[in-house]
Every structure is written in C-alpha cells, then in structure tokens.
Structure 1
Amino acid sequence: MSIRGRIISMVLLLEIVLMVTAALLFFNEHKKREHETLFYIGNSLKNHFERNARETEQRYSSRVAGFVKSNPAVIDAFIRKDSARMVHLLERKVETLHKEDDFFYCITFVFSDGTIFYHSKDLHRIGQNVASIPFAREGFESRKPVSGLVLSLAGLAYRYSYPVFDQERYVGMIVLVVEPTRAITMLADDYNAECGIFVDRKYVARFEDKNVREIKGQALVAWQGKSFSDAGFTEALFKAKALERFEFSGQIYRRFAPLPIQNYRGEKIGEVLTALNTTKEYHEFRASLMHAGGLFFCVFILTLMSLFGGTGFFLKQVRSLQESLELKVAKRTSALQALNETLSLEIQERKKAQRALKELSEKDVLTGIYNRRKFNTYYETEWSAARREGRVLSLLMIDIDLFKIYNDRYGHLAGDQALHQVAITLNQTVSRPRDFVARYGGEEFICLLPETSQQAAVQLAETMRQHVEDLHYIHEFSDTANVITVSIGVASVIPEKNQAKEELIDLADKALYLAKRDGRNCTRIA
C-alpha cells in the first residue's frame, strides 16, 4: 500500500474511532442527564403530592369548623331536629359550596346514635344508620374532629367531621365530604402527568359492586388522565419498574415511584401511580441521533473525498469545519449561559413572590398585625409545648366597646382608622418575643401569653386597656366613656394531656362576656 493510501486509511480509521467515541459519550451523557431529570421530577412529584395532602387537610378541617361557627341557625335546626328548616337553610349554602369548590361532594349531619339527619347529595341516605362505620364510630366515641381519607360504602373520599354540642349535651357530628381526586388533579395539572389511585383490595371489599378495576391485589378507584380508562395501560404500568420506559398504544411513558396514601388512621391503604408521556421527547432524541448520524456520515464522505482530492485540501476543510463547530459551540454556550442567568432571576423573583404571599396569608390587611389563620397555627404550637412541659398558658380576648355604633355614627373610614390604631397599640404593649397579638375577627383581638401567670396576664390586660383609653379616640355615643375603650377577658390554664385547646379560648370568651356584662371598659377573669 502506498504512503498516500496508508495516510488515508489511518485518517479514516481515526475519524471512525472519534465518531464512535463521540456518539458513545453523547449517548451516555444523555442517559445520565435523563436519569437525573427523571429523578428530580420524581422527587418533585412526591413533595408536591405530600404538600397538597397537607394543604387539603388544613383547608377542609378549618372549613368545616368555620361552617359550624358561622352558621348558628343551621346548627340550631340540627339540634332541634327541624328537617324542613334545615333543608331551607342549606339549599343555597350547598349550591355555593359546589360553585366555590370543584372537589366538594356533599355535607352530612349525623346524630350521636348514627342516624343520618341530612344528606345533601343523596336524600335516600336520610334515616340510615352509620354507627357501624369505623370513621363515624370513632368520631362518636372521641367527640372530636376526625379527618382524612375514608373508604366506605360510597367509595373513597376525604371526610372531615366536626362535633356539635347543645351546651354540654353531645348532639352528633357534621361531615364534609371531598372528592379524593383533589391531590392527583393538582399533580396532573402541574406536571401534565397521568395519575391513578390504587387501593389494596382488602380495603375495598365492602363495595365490590362498584365498577373498580383490579390488578395484582389492588383496585383502581380514581384517576386523572384518559390512558387509565384502558385496562391495557394499567397492566403495562404495573409491569414497568420505577423510572422505566414502557409503551402503550404507540405512546411512550415513564413510570415514577409509587406515592403511598394513608387513611385517617395513618394506615397505608394504597398508592398513587404516576406516568409521564415522553413520546415527544423520545422522538426528538431519536431525531437528534439521526441528524447526528447523518452529519457524521456526511463528514466521513467529505473527508474521504478531500483525502482523495489532496491532503492539503483535506486539512483546509478540517480547519474550516473545526472553526464552524467551535463557533456553534460558543454560540450555544453563550445562549445557555444567558438562559441560566434568566432562570436564576426568575427563581429569585419567585422566591420574593412566595415570601410576599406568605406574609399576605399571615397578616391582616387592615391592621397590619397577624390574622386569625396565623394565630391558629401559632396557638397549636404553644398549646402543645405548654402541655408537654407542664407550663401555664394565658390568653386575652379583647373587644372594642360599642364599635358598631362608632362605625354607624362616624363612618367606616374612621372605624378602620380606629381599628388600625387600637391594633398597633395592643401589639406595642407586649414586649416578649413569644407574646402574640392577632386580629381575631371584626373588632375583636386576641393575645396569647406563653409561660405567663394569671396575675401577670391581668396586669398586662389592664395596661392594654389603659393604653387604648389613653388614645383619646372620641366616642361621644358610648355609654361607657366618651372615648373608645376595650373590654378584656383573661383565662389561664396548664394544659392537661387530653384537654382540648379550644377550652382556653372558650374560658377567655366567657371572661370577656363578664367584662361586657359588668359595664365594659374593664378586665375580668374566667
């Protein structure tokens, strides 16, 4: 073989080796990046699902408690067993609940003996007895709110119960029922994924007549995504491992690790399986491989032609191709850097927006102090700490005297200004970091004083009352004083193991009632 032939052979062999090596490196790097991306998406799905579960629990537990407190007429009809009045009062409220929340299913009133008094979804259920159902039975026995996922004759749903009392007599409970697809709907919307809820067959034996699909000891009870409507898709999904690719009906999917779901007792009853349609990405990757292969083939042919045409011409073309590739890489690198900077700015802006939203959700817009939602969270923490450590916890319930008359006489703008100034005054009166002042509703404020004796709490309450009076906000229509004043109820407890945290609030509220009864502008102890 001539020297020219040897040179051509060596150059072509080297080029082939380089092309194969580049292809292998490209393929391995793609697999690595793909695995990292899928792992990140899987973790995001898990975190997103758990966060949605917590938000669902908090949202609807608060909602059913708020319904009981804000609808005394409905509760009175329940206590008096006045079904006609109950239907009349709830007709519009149930319509409103359906309009405000796509996942709301129904609301049920159940007497303490298990008899259904009212059912907004199925009137035929009225009069039935549900005392044998574990969820209802535990609610009756504990006489406390019970919430979580429940499997019953009607199927899988989130249920949130709240006890109803007629003074000291236990009447029964209110149960708010929410569709189980809330969490997976948000998951599907946010990630464009297809999700299915699978429950262990032993937990759904009680509703065998329901149209559920069973596979490998699990039953598909709810889903988001049209693919789950085909039994073949479910079988293909179960055969695939976590992060493994599988095909169905010409589409390519990736299965993610199952997300466990628990019932209201904390028992694992099944899991959520999620699949992501990656058909577009897969075909794009294949197209890129084909383009790269075509490019490599063209380079090979051009190299061969260049070598036969002359080594000098070949080297010149190689240099030109190298410069072109370097320019493309430089442009691509510059574009990626610009994209990275843009993403960093967007992340920073999103974090700022999240912080601002968090503050808006915790602060009262009118007064600037914490709102009732933030108080409930903080109160739960301090109550648990006081009960665990056996320490005293004091609470002040504060109400502006005759504030409705003030609003009516001086106007709502003046009333808003007075509310704002009173809130600032109350907040500035406390000095310890753990002391907490919040607007509780309307003209009512609340102050939590951890590790504060009743005597110290009374002294602070008197200081607050005097500071508000010293504002000298003229209120010539008050029969207590000619300025704005407040009445304060004080209560202190050392929480016991099974004591409900609502008892301290009730005591402070009763003390506030005593202060109003005794002429207002004073402090009373429960």
Structure 2
Amino acid sequence: MSIRGKIIVLVLALELVLTIVSGTLFINEHYKRNEELAKYIATNLRNNFIDHSTTIQDKYRTRIEGFVKSSPAIINAFAKRDLSDLTINLEQRINTLRKEDQLFSSINFIHADGTVFYHTKDKKRIGQNVSHIPFVRDSLKDRKPLSGLVLALSGLGYRFSYPVYLNDKYVGIIVFITDATHSLEMLSKNFEIQWGILINKENIVQGSEMQMIANNGKLLVASSGGPFNDKGFLEVISQTAPLDVFQSTESYHRKLYTLALKNYAGVSVGEIITVLDISKPLSDFRASLYNAGMIILAVLVVTIIVLFQGIGFFLKKVRETQHQLEETVDQRTKQLQETNHKLSQEITQHELTQKDLESLSVKDALTGLFNRRKFNDQYETEWNAALRASRYISLIMIDIDCFKPYNDTYGHLAGDEALRTVAQAIQKNVTRPRDCVARFGGEEFICILPETSMDATIHVAEMIRKSVEELHYIHEFSSASNVITVSIGLISAIPEKFQDKKELIDLADKALYRAKSAGRNCIKAS
C-alpha cells in the first residue's frame, strides 16, 4: 500500500474512532440529562401534589367547623327536615363558599339513618340512602369530624364531614365536597404532563356513575385524557418502571413516579400515574443525529477525495472546513443565546406582572398598606394560631382626628396625601414579619400584633401616636390640636374556644370610641 493510501486509511480510521466515541458520549449525556430532568419534574410534581392536598384538608377542616357553628338557621332547618327553609338560608352561604374557593363543589346533608336530606349539586341524590358508602357509614357511626379522599357515587373528591346536634340530639352529618383533581390539572399545565387516577376495583362504590376503563384489577376513574383513554396504553404503562421510556402506538412517553392514593382511613385505594410525552424531543434528537451522520459521511467522502489529490491540499481543505464549522457553531450558539435571553426576559416580565397582580389584590391603592380583604385573611390566620397555642393576639385601631374638616378645608388631594403620610408613620412602628397594618376604611387603620402583651401593645400604640403628632401636619380645624393627630383603641387577649373573633375587633372599636370621647389624640385599652 502506498504512503498516500496508508495516510488516507489512518486518517479515516482516526475520524471513525473519534466520531464513534464523541457520538457515544453525546448520546449518553443527552439521555442522562433527560433522565435527570424527568426525575426533577417527577419529584416536584409529587411534592406539589402532597403539599396542595395537605393545604386543602387543613383549610376545609376549619371551614366546615366554622360553617356548622355559624349557621344556626341552617342546622335548625336540617334537624326539622324543613327543606324549603334550608334552601333559602343555604343559598347565600353556598354562593359565598364558591366565590372564596373554586375547589369547593357542594354540600351534602345526611340524616342519622343514612338518608340524603339535601344535596346542593346533585338533586337526584335527595332521598337516597348512602349508608353503604364507607365514609358515610364511619362518619355516622363515630359521630366526630372525618375528612380525606373518598370515592363516592359521583366520583373522586375530598370530603369533610361534621356531626350535627340540636339540643343534644344527634341529627346527622354535613359533608363538604371539594374537587380532588384540580391540583393535578394545575400541575399538568405547569409541568406539561399527563396523568391518570387508577382505583382498585374493590374500592369502587356499588352504583357509581363514573365512566371507567379497567386494567389489571384497577379502574381508571379520572385522567387528563389523551393516551389514557387507550386501554393498550394502560397495559403498557403498568409494566413500565418509573423514569423508563416506553412506546404506545406512535408516541413515546417517559413514566414518572407513581403517587399512592390513600383514603380518609389511611388505606391505599389506588394510585396516580403521570407520564411525560417525549415524542417531539425524541424526534428532534433523532433528526439531529441523522443530520450529524449525514454531515460526517459527507466529510469522510470529501476527506478521501481531498487526500487522494494531495496531502497539502487535504490539510488546506481541512482547515477551511474546520473554520466553516466553527463559524456555523458560533452563529448557532449566538442564536441560541439570543433566544435564551429573550425567553429569560419574558419569564422575568411574567413573574413581575404576576407579583404586581398579587400585590394589587391585597394592597390599598392610596396608602400602599394592606387592604380590608388581606386584613381579614391575616386576622383569621393569626386568630387560629393564637387559639391553638393559647397565646396573646393584639389589635390596634387608629382613627385620624377630625379628618372630615381637614378634607373640607384643604381639599381631597391634600387629604389623600395626609392619609399616605399617616399610613407611612404607622408602618414604621409596626415592623415585625408577622405584624400586619391595613387600611380599615376611610381614615381608619388597624394593626395585628401576634404574640404581643397588653403592655407591649400600649407601647407600640404610643409610638404610633407620637410619630403622627411629630409629623407636624398643620390642621387648623382640629379640636384635638393644631396638627394632625390620631385616636387609638386597642385590645390584647388570648382567644378562647368558641369565641367569635369579631369580638376583639368590636372591643378595639369601642376603645377607639372612648379615646375620641376623651378628647382625641390619646390611647384607650379595652
């Protein structure tokens, strides 16, 4: 063999070895990164679902208890079996519950004998006996609050039962029903995954009206649609290990972690299967490999021709080809960097917009303080925390003295500026992370001070009063001073069981009234 032939064979052999090694490393790295991404998505999906489920259950245990204890007219109608009176009193409460939380589905009133007295969503259930449903049977038997995941006649959902008594006589239970698949639908949009809920056949309630697909002793009761409607898909996925890739019809999917489903009693009743559709990424990757293979083949052919013409000419062409490839890579890299930069800017802008919308929903537009809605939510949270821990919670109610004459004299623009300045003075004195300052209405403000004693609350109130007075905001028509001042009423107490949380607000308001009656620009405690 000639020297030229040996050089050609050697160069070709080296190119083939390098191509095979580089291709193998690239493919392995690609699959490794995809598997790590799938593992990350699967872990976040599981954690988000568990956290969301826990939040719903904690929220609705409190909500149903509050509903029963604050609805004597409804309870009385339920006990007396007065359906007309019940529907009249229940209508407004139902509308309120649905506005507060889109997860809320319906309320079921069930008498002690297991008969459905009223169902807010499914009227055909009225009069049916549902005592054969384990959740209903256990709730009626134990006569204590019960909650958790339940598969009933109408489908899968979270149910929260609470026993009802009237004059110490057991009437039955009230059941709140919420959507169990909403969190999965949200996560499906966020992570672009598909899901299906499979329930063991023995856990399906007799007489259920759900459309179900059977597979290996389980029934598909809900899904995101798509491939889960194919029985063949369910058979394949049941035999696939988590994070493995499998093919169904013409699509490729990667199975994520399986989430175990447990009912209200802690018994495993089924599972949630989630998959990631990787058909397009896999197709793109294969196309890239094909294109790369074609380029490599073309390079080999060109290399043979060039080497055959002469080593010097070959080396020159290799340098030119290398330069062209580098330019192509640089250009593609710049394009990708520009695309990534634009995408990053869009994501940042979306996050900023989201934060602005969240801020607008809880902030007062004029003063920048929290609004009445945010105060109500924060107050309920801190009240419940203080009630559980038997700790103090304090309220400070503040009113700007003689503010109407100020508005009438100096104008509403000056009044708005005064409100903003006073709000800033209050906020500077209430600085702990859990403290809350809100505009209560008009020229009134209110502060929540968790775990704060009466003495400490009085101290904070006095600092607020002095801070406002030391603003030296001229007010010639105030009966309290020649500058803007505030009157303050406060209350500090440890909540008691069954105590209405509105009682503290009323006491703080009465203390504020005494401060006004005492000449204003002062503090009164209740």
Q: What's the TM-score, normalizing by structure 1?
A: 0.73
Q: Compare 322-331 and 169-178 and name the one that shifted more.
A: 169-178
Which residue of 2 is the match for residue 35 of structure 1?
Answer: 35
**Rounded Cα–Cα distance in structure 2 between residues aligned with 1:77 and 1:200:** 39
Match of residue 24 from structure 2: 24
CA contact (8 A) 1:75 1:164 kept: yes
Q: Secondary structure at the match of 1:503?
A: coil
The aligned runs of 1:10-21 (5 Å cut-off) are 10-21=10-21
- What is the alpha-carbon distance in structure 2 between the residues aligned to residue 437 and residue 110 of structure 1? 43
SS of the residue 1:490 aligns to:
strand
Matches within 5 A, 1:246-285: 246-264=246-264, 269-285=269-285
User: What amino acid is aligned across from residue 505 of structure 1 in structure 2?
Assistant: K
Q: CA deviation at 1:249?
A: 1.6
Counterpart secondary structure, 1:151? strand
Alpha-carbon distance change, 96 to 486 in structure 1, aligned in 2, over 3 angstroms = same
- Given that 2:425 and 2:468 are in contact with CA atoms closer than 8 Å, whether structure 1 keeps it comes out as yes
Identity of aligned residues (%): 38
State whether residues 398 and 512 of structure 1, in contact with CA within 8 Å, keep that contact through their aligned partners in structure 2.
Answer: yes
1-structure distance, mates of 2:340, 2:21: 29
Indicate if the aligned counterparts of 1:154 and 1:207 stay in contact, CA closer than 8 A: no
Q: State the 1:325 CA deviation.
A: 0.9
Partner AA of 1:249 in structure 2? T
Q: How does 1:380-399 map to 2 (within 5 A)?
A: 380=381, 384=385, 388=389, 392-396=391-395, 398=397
Q: 1-side partners of 2:17 and 2:23: how far apart?
A: 10
Residue 459 (structure 1) shift:
7.9
Does residue 179 (structure 1) correspond to residue 190 (structure 2)? The answer is: no
Question: Residues 515 and 524 of structure 2 are in contact (CA less than 8 Å); yes or no, is this contact kept in structure 1?
Answer: no
Q: Give the 3 Å change call, closer, same or farther, for CA 230–206 of structure 1 in structure 2.
A: same
- Measured after TM superposition, the shift of residue 195 of structure 1 is 0.5
Name 1:304's counterpart in structure 2: 304
Partner of 1:223: 223
Please give the alpha-carbon distance, in whole angstroms, between the structure 1 residues aligned to 2:113 and 2:107: 18
Distance 1:139 1:452 in 2: 42
| Structure 1 gap segments, 5+ residues each | 477-482
Query: What's the CA shift string for 1:389-446, capped at 9, x where partnerless?
Result: x6x4033375979x9x99xx99999999998788667656657665444457899865
- Summarize the Cα distance change of 1:178–1:435 in structure 2 as closer, same or farther, 3 Å threshold: closer
User: Could you tell me which residue of structure 1 aligns to residue 501 of structure 2?
Assistant: 505
CA contact (8 A) 1:491 1:504 kept: no
Structure 1 counterpart of 2:327, one-letter code: L
CA distance 1:69–1:260, change in 2 (3 Å): same
Aligned length: 508
**CA distance, structure 2, for counterparts of residue 223 and residue 243 of structure 1:** 19
**What amino acid is aligned across from residue 6 of structure 2 in structure 1?**
R
Counterpart secondary structure, 2:274: strand
Task: Confirm or deny: 8 A CA contact 1:119 1:125 kept in the other structure.
Answer: yes
- 1:265 to partner: Cα distance: 5.8
Separation in 2 of the partners of 1:460 and 1:210?
59
Q: Structure 2 matches for 1:173-212, cutoff 5 A?
A: 174-204=174-204, 211-212=211-212
Distance apart, 1:236 and its partner CA = 0.8
Shift of residue 231 of structure 1?
1.5
How big is the shift at 1:218? 3.8
Distance 1:350 1:428 in 2: 31
CA distance in 1: counterparts of 2:442 and 2:357, whole angstroms: 22
Question: Structure 2: where are the runs of 5+ without partners?
Answer: none
Which deviates more, 208-217 or 133-142?
133-142
SS in 1 for 2:291: helix
Q: CA RMSD in A?
A: 5.3
Report the TM-score when normalising by structure 2: 0.73
**Which region of structure 1 is more displaced relative to structure 2, 151-160 or 166-175?**
166-175
> 1:271-296 deviations in whole A, cap 9, x for unaligned?
32111222222222222222222222
Mapped to 2, the partners of 1:113 and 1:466 lie a distance apart of 64
User: 2:306 and 2:433 mapped to 1: Cα distance?
Assistant: 80
Alpha-carbon distance between aligned partners in 2 of 1:354 and 1:265, rounded to the nearest angstrom: 39
Equivalent pair of 1:149/1:264 in contact (CA under 8 Å): yes
Q: Is the 8 A contact 1:184 1:196 kept in 2?
A: no
Query: SS state of the match for residue 499, structure 2?
Result: helix
Q: Answer yes or no: is 1:490 the counterpart of 2:491.
A: yes
Tell me if structure 2 keeps the 8 A contact 1:511–1:524.
Answer: no
